[in-house]
Amino acid sequence: MSTPSAFDPAALMALLSGFAGRRVLCVGDVMVDQFIYGDVKRISPEAPVPVVRVTRESLALGGAGNVVRNLAALGGLPYFVSVVGEDQAGVEVRRLLSELHGTDFSLRVSENRETTVKSRFFSSDGHHLLRADRETSAPLAPEDDADLRQAALAALATCDAVILSDYAKGVFGKDLAAAIIAAARAAHKPVIVDPKGTDYTRYAGATVITPNRAELAEATGSPVATDEELINAARRLRQTTGAAAILVTRADKGMTLVEDAAENLAVEGREVADVTGAGDTVVATLAMALACGARLRDAARLANVAAGIVVGRRGTAVATVAEISAALVHTGIAGFEQKIADRDSAAAKAEAWRRQSLRVGFTNGCFDLLHPGHVALLRQARGACDRLIVGLNSDASVKRLKGEGRPVQTAAARATVMASMTSVDLVVVFDEDTPQSLVEALRPDVLVKGADYARAAVVGGDFVESYGGRVVLADLVDSHSTTATIAALKTEGSGRK
């Protein structure tokens, strides 16, 4: 096994910046995840089981649907092909997909099936009590299979990568996987497979197959207890399927990538809370990276960072580009990493500061080339609070706001500079065009912007004032702007030619 080599977070950040708008075809078994919460205060007189008084419930896309959720969260444009039953759960699948930004889909409604629903019961404190499944797992009827095949092959022409998300509920019961893989190979498009079962020959020719440890053992009939055993089993699987790589997901142990060489990728700096759905995040991130032309090794590293984010949360979760960017910054920078956080960690830190009766302030910007105007803004912002959090636009966000050629510096570099400022206590990279959702997550006591903004134009201002916070407009330092600096440099450079 090769020793893990150092990687360049800035290069992976640049890769992330290309995610927006990538079109990925996902074919697979869709489910509805139902979460039911309630109070548990007594045991049933009918049997020794708890009585749950239901207080709330929610629905989410599961199975291959969770892969689509992850693709959308990463800024992709998913095209989803699947089958549902002629039932209320199938209607919910359509509704949930319609709510995902940029997502198109082709759902075959089958009279012969019921939509898979997994109902999970929890006590109010989050203790998992019971799971009840309703599903049809038989192979598709010939007419259903033909419809899915036609939809998938038609969509493939406009997609940059393909995911086959097999949850063994019947979608890939025949030769659908082989037909899609053959068409994708002919079109030189990568295929990522999240597999099930023991017969992986149906995935022959895929670019990457991503079994977990148990699935690898089942598929190969080989022991996988040690690193050496796992790698040997993955190599045998790679040989029998002709896949370019096998990426074994290992829950709290990270992942192992087996190409010609093998490399272990450990979970980066996260306390593992729940590995549910982490495999969906892995295949989505892999697909997006490979769609951008990334090497398999870099795509796997990026997927490992994304998986490290979601395993730190309870239940199925997604990782966003902004969160992965923040994690990369944290991983790649020594000295100031404790001041760089993702959204969830920053919100928890802000709440901890408030419990200490400290006033939490927030300001935001691109901060591309730091100049005296920025320094003055940060100094005034810090003077209005006890702890200052800075929201930093991601590279993709800056490009959308400022145009081609911006940012001059990557988010990793900008976050490093910002974290080195004594006036700044925490830095959070965000991917949206405005910081509204970040403000809502952090709930700052003070929101600071430059005085070139009218109070009514301050994003998040109404929200902060709704719970008693205040908006502060900082005095400006004249004659300083990043745009003007860049223009001056271009003029000077042109004059020297």
Q: How does pLDDT run along the chain (497 residues), one tens digit per residue?
A: 544 445 566 677 778 878 888 999 999 999 999 999 999 999 999 999 999 999 999 999 999 999 999 999 999 999 999 999 999 999 999 999 999 989 999 999 998 899 999 999 999 887 889 999 999 899 999 999 999 999 999 999 999 999 999 999 999 988 999 999 999 999 999 999 999 999 999 999 999 999 999 999 999 999 999 999 999 999 999 999 999 999 999 877 789 999 999 998 876 545 554 556 688 999 999 999 999 999 999 999 999 888 888 876 666 678 888 788 777 766 654 345 568 888 888 999 999 999 888 999 999 999 988 888 888 899 999 999 999 999 999 988 898 988 887 888 888 778 888 888 888 999 999 989 999 999 999 999 999 998 878 888 899 999 999 999 999 998 876 655 545 444 544 444 445 44
Annotation marks residue 344 as catalytic: no
Q: Which amino acid type is present at position 298?
A: D
| End-of-domain residue from the set 262, 290, 319 | 319
Strands (E) across 378-454 are located at: 387-393, 426-430, 446-450
Q: What is the pLDDT of residue 173?
A: 82
Q: Which amino acid type is present at position 106?
A: S
191 and 101 co-located in one domain: yes
HSE-CB for 289 with a 13 A CA cutoff: 30
148 and 228 co-located in one domain: yes
417 and 312 co-located in one domain: no
262 and 353 co-located in one domain: no
72 and 116 co-located in one domain: yes
Peptide bond into 9 cis (omega under 30): no
Asked, for residue 1, whether it belongs to a domain, the answer is no
CB 243 within 8 A of CB 265: no
Domain that holds residue 471: 337-495
Which residue among 280, 342, 425, 431 is the active-site one?
A: 280
DSSP class of 340 = E
Q: What is the pLDDT of residue 489?
A: 43
CATH of the domain at 151: 3.40.1190.20
How many structural domains is the chain composed of? 2
Tally Cβ neighbours within 10 Å of residue 198: 10
Please state, in angstroms and rounded to a whole number, the distance separating the CA atoms of residues 113 and 116.
9
Please state, in angstroms and rounded to a whole number, the distance separating the CA atoms of residues 258 and 111.
42
Q: Virtual CA dihedral for 38, 44, 49, 51, nearest 10 degrees?
A: 0
476 and 393 co-located in one domain: yes
CB 100 within 8 A of CB 123: no
Please state, in angstroms and rounded to a whole number, the distance separating the CA atoms of residues 297 and 256.
11
Asked, for residue 3, whether it belongs to a domain, the answer is no
CB 246 within 8 A of CB 220: no
Phi, psi of 59 (to 5 degrees): -125, 145
Asked, for residue 325, whether it belongs to a domain, the answer is no
Q: What is the pLDDT of residue 7?
A: 57
Pairing of strands 191-194, 161-165: parallel
3-class DSSP state of 183: helix
Asked, for residue 453, whether it belongs to a domain, the answer is yes
Asked, for residue 332, whether it belongs to a domain, the answer is no
Asked, for residue 284, whether it belongs to a domain, the answer is yes
315 and 363 co-located in one domain: no
Q: What is the pLDDT of residue 267?
A: 67
| End-of-domain residue from the set 293, 319, 345 | 319
277 and 384 co-located in one domain: no
Asked, for residue 143, whether it belongs to a domain, the answer is yes
247 and 192 co-located in one domain: yes
283 and 359 co-located in one domain: no
72 and 185 co-located in one domain: yes
97 and 242 co-located in one domain: yes
CATH of the domain at 465: 3.40.50.620
CB 328 within 8 A of CB 412: yes
Find the length of the chain.
497
Asked, for residue 164, whether it belongs to a domain, the answer is yes
Q: What is the pLDDT of residue 313?
A: 66
Task: Provide the β-strand partners of residue 122.
Answer: 37, 128
- Crossing angle of the two packed helices 278-291 and 64-73, in degrees rounded to 10: 50
| End-of-domain residue from the set 319, 347, 364 | 319
